[in-house]
Structure 1
């Protein structure tokens, strides 16, 4: 289950980069890398980015 969260965050990062949001993509890649040590960090970063984007 831990690996699924990391893979999902990497996929989210690739989608962000494909949509021209390089900063968000890099942030998510960093969160995915860190989530191998801190479970749930990648998911939290993804959720925060989505909420922040809706708030704009």
Structure 2
């Protein structure tokens, strides 16, 4: 049986991994600044859950508004 803490840890890890994947995609597309920002957000999201996801969403919104 899975506890709530296990699920929380799983979601936190998933958020970090998806942020790292977003950073890799940005780097491949030639957006080094965005990649570095996402890498920093992924590192910080180990302490602040959801930060990587928030940074990823903001980057996408800014890109669409340009």
TM-score range with shorter-chain normalisation? over 0.9
The equivalent residue for 1:45 is 55
Asked if 1:14 is matched to 2:35, the reply is no
What is the TM-score with the length of structure 1 in the denominator? 0.99
- Stretches of structure 1 that go unaligned for 5 or more consecutive residues are none
Q: CA deviation at 1:38?
A: 0.2
Max Rg structure: 2
What is the TM-score with the length of structure 2 in the denominator? 0.84
Off by >6 Å, runs of 4+ in structure 1: none
Q: CA RMSD in A?
A: 0.2
- Stretches of structure 2 that go unaligned for 5 or more consecutive residues are 1-10
- Structure 2: how far apart are the matches of 1:38 and 1:2? 9
- Structure 1: how far apart are the matches of 2:49 and 2:62? 22
